[in-house]
Amino acid sequence: MTHCGCIIIGGSHAAAQLAVSLRQEGWQEPITVISDASSLPYQRPPLSKGFLAQKVTADKLLIRPPALYETNQIDFRLQQVVSAVDPVNKQVTLANGECLAYSKLAFCTGARVRRIEICGADAKGIHYLRDLQDVVGLQQALTGSQQIVIVGGGYIGLETAASLRQLGHSVTVIEAAPRLLQRVTAPAVSEYFQRLHEANGVTIVTQKQVAEFVTAESGVVTQVLCTDGSTYPADLVIVGIGVRPNLELAQAAGLECADGIVVDEYARTADPDIVAAGDCAQHPLPYYDQLKRLESVPNAMEQAKVAAATLCGKSKPYQALPWFWSDQYQTKLQIAGLNSGYDKTVIRGDQTTHNFSVWYFHEQRLLAVDCINQPKDFMLAKALISQNKAIDQSQLSDLDFDLKTWL
């Protein structure tokens, strides 16, 4: 049986960072990354933006150059699937039957798209956007000026809509909730993005539940039928209704799982020799006193660094403030913190323009800030939340007031 030192399962952002960070923390044993992907870890955010819009080529997506992995003696086993993990005997079994021993193990298995379960879901012309192959398949299906329906008005749906409009396609976004981004933003932000997309020619439809994908005799999708009987013509459909964490391997290995693989502030699972990081991990958030699974690149990178330190016997707790971003047309949305549980919002700037920010509070405590083309507000917001600074809400709407005063 081959001894692989530290085995990292998955080819995600977290996996790439964890492998490199292990060497930086002084790990001397072999490092083996097992991934079912056909390529080295690559950046996913550009897939629905620059890559789909053909502004970025595949070779520019790699998170790290191959030479860096070679220099750090990181062995990648691509296009291989782990079928079982045995924590008692400290070994993993591959789908091809091969068994590999480990001294430490990391789950960086990420998440997969949530598939829609309605009539016609398997029709030709139904696409999902999660990995490189998904987007390449969509690009190959794009011809001329097509009518495209996007199911889901979240970030992935809206970013994709923006890219497709720039390629000249007719786009309709169908969202089941009363407004876009309802789960993650305040009404003011939802309204802004609806205006932005409509100004760029996207048809936005809310409060519509998709019931069926209608197909031609050839099996190709032709229409999207909603539960109220309304229909929308479609040459192809893109479904973006969220993701599910890949935690089945961890569950089968007996590790605690909830919305993700449960870890502590050091990225440790219940097994001291196993860590988890990235989209698959549910971990405590120091600023919010809750367990949360975050779907973001910054979190994956920071948590992977924590996990690497833990595997090397060092105690470096996760202390990063959650933050996110989204690029749509010429607009950059930057989000500092988590707004769950907010009871009040304060808007700084004019929400009818392309430059404003929305500040979320629970009672007097600042929870999060959504910044529309306001990078200075974003940087200040991160500092204010991290330092738990007291904020006079009445001063926020005064654009002449210098926010740095609170620091």
The answer to whether residue 22 is domain-embedded is yes
Tell me how far apart the terminal alpha carbons of the chain are, to the nearest angstrom. 57
Backbone angles phi, psi at 290, to 5 degrees: -155, 160
| CB 53 within 8 Å of CB 43 | no
In DSSP terms, 231 is beta-bridged to 225
247 and 107 within one domain? yes
The answer to whether residue 253 is domain-embedded is yes
Residue 39's pLDDT is 94
Q: What angle do CA 297, 39, 155 make, to 5 degrees?
A: 35
Residue 54's pLDDT is 85
What's the CATH code of the domain at 335? 3.30.390.30
248 and 211 within one domain? no
| CB 127 within 8 Å of CB 296 | no
218 and 139 within one domain? yes
Residue entry with tokens 């031609």:
216
20 and 71 within one domain? yes
What's the CATH code of the domain at 201? 3.50.50.60
Residue where one domain finishes, among candidates 311, 344, 365: 311
Give the global pTM. 0.95
Residue where one domain finishes, among candidates 311, 340, 365: 311
99 and 8 within one domain? yes
pLDDT tens readout for residues 36-60? 999 999 999 999 988 998 888 888 9
Integer Cα distance of 227 and 157 in angstroms = 20
Residue 257's pLDDT is 97
Backbone angles phi, psi at 168, to 5 degrees: 95, 15
230 and 191 within one domain? yes
248 and 156 within one domain? no
Residue 144's pLDDT is 80
Residue 390's pLDDT is 83
282 and 185 within one domain? no
Residue where one domain finishes, among candidates 185, 217, 239: 239
The answer to whether residue 324 is domain-embedded is no
Integer Cα distance of 394 and 353 in angstroms = 21
Residue entry with tokens 């007097």:
364
- Which residues, other chains included, contact 40 with Cβ-Cβ below 8 Å and sequence gap of 6+? 11, 16, 62, 63, 64, 66, 69, 76, 78
Residue 303's pLDDT is 98
Backbone angles phi, psi at 308, to 5 degrees: -65, -45
Side chain identity, residue 114 = R
- DSSP H helical ranges for 259-328: 297-311
Backbone angles phi, psi at 314, to 5 degrees: -110, 150
Backbone angles phi, psi at 301, to 5 degrees: -65, -45
Residue 375's pLDDT is 96
Full pLDDT tens readout for the chain, 407 residues = 788 999 999 999 999 999 999 999 999 999 999 999 999 999 999 999 889 988 888 889 999 999 999 999 999 999 999 999 999 999 999 999 999 999 999 999 999 999 999 999 999 999 999 999 999 999 999 988 789 999 999 999 999 999 999 999 999 999 999 999 999 999 999 999 999 999 999 999 999 999 999 999 999 999 999 999 999 999 999 999 999 999 999 999 999 999 999 999 999 999 999 999 999 999 999 899 899 999 999 999 999 999 999 999 999 999 999 999 999 999 999 999 999 999 999 999 998 889 999 999 998 899 999 999 999 999 999 999 999 888 889 899 888 888 888 88
Residue entry with tokens 């309802």:
182
Angle between helices 13-24 and 297-311 (to 10 degrees): 40
The answer to whether residue 362 is domain-embedded is yes
The answer to whether residue 321 is domain-embedded is no
Integer Cα distance of 156 and 58 in angstroms = 19
CA 294 to chain centre: 8
The answer to whether residue 118 is domain-embedded is no
Number of residues assigned to the chain: 407
The answer to whether residue 320 is domain-embedded is no
CA dihedral (386, 387, 388, 394) in degrees, to 10, reads -100
56 and 14 within one domain? yes
Integer Cα distance of 182 and 297 in angstroms = 22
Domain that includes residue 260, residue range: 2-112+243-311
Total structural domains in the chain?
3
The answer to whether residue 93 is domain-embedded is yes
Integer Cα distance of 67 and 346 in angstroms = 48
- Which residues, other chains included, contact 274 with Cβ-Cβ below 8 Å and sequence gap of 6+? 87, 104, 105, 106, 107, 253, 255, 268
249 and 234 within one domain? no
282 and 231 within one domain? no
210 and 131 within one domain? yes
